[in-house]
Structure 1
Amino acid sequence: MEIWVGVFMYLLGVMLVLGLVEPIDDEHENAPVKLALTWPIVSVMYIWAMLMDFYYGDER
């Protein structure tokens, strides 16, 4: 039963991202859909990059 909560939250996130993001130009009009479907991966990658920058700074 707990899987439905995760699926519901994911779908709410998809709808939020689709509502917030719009294409910059006509050439990449599917970019918001790709971002809306992959937002959990993008957010984890961004959080990881922030943590690495916090811990290592300019030493990388």
Structure 2
Amino acid sequence: MTNPNCISWGIAPIGWRNDDIPTIGADNTLSHLLSDICVAGFQGTEVGGFFPEPNILNKRASIT
């Protein structure tokens, strides 16, 4: 059986905003996306086209 303590769950930002059709989810901000991801219990996400440069994102997400 899989040990759930060894699994990290992530999600894709397309659930909030679509890079191919920018009008879909255009009102969803990066802050909204990161907050929802955290509240839902996910440990990470892939980046989307509306994410800032990594050094800015790391500061915003409190990653060191």
Q: TM-score, normalised by structure 2?
A: 0.25
Query: Which gives a bigger RCO, structure 1 or 2 (Cα 8 Å, sep 6+)?
Result: 2
Q: Which has the higher strand share?
A: 2
Q: TM-score, normalised by structure 1?
A: 0.26
Q: Which has the higher helix share?
A: 1
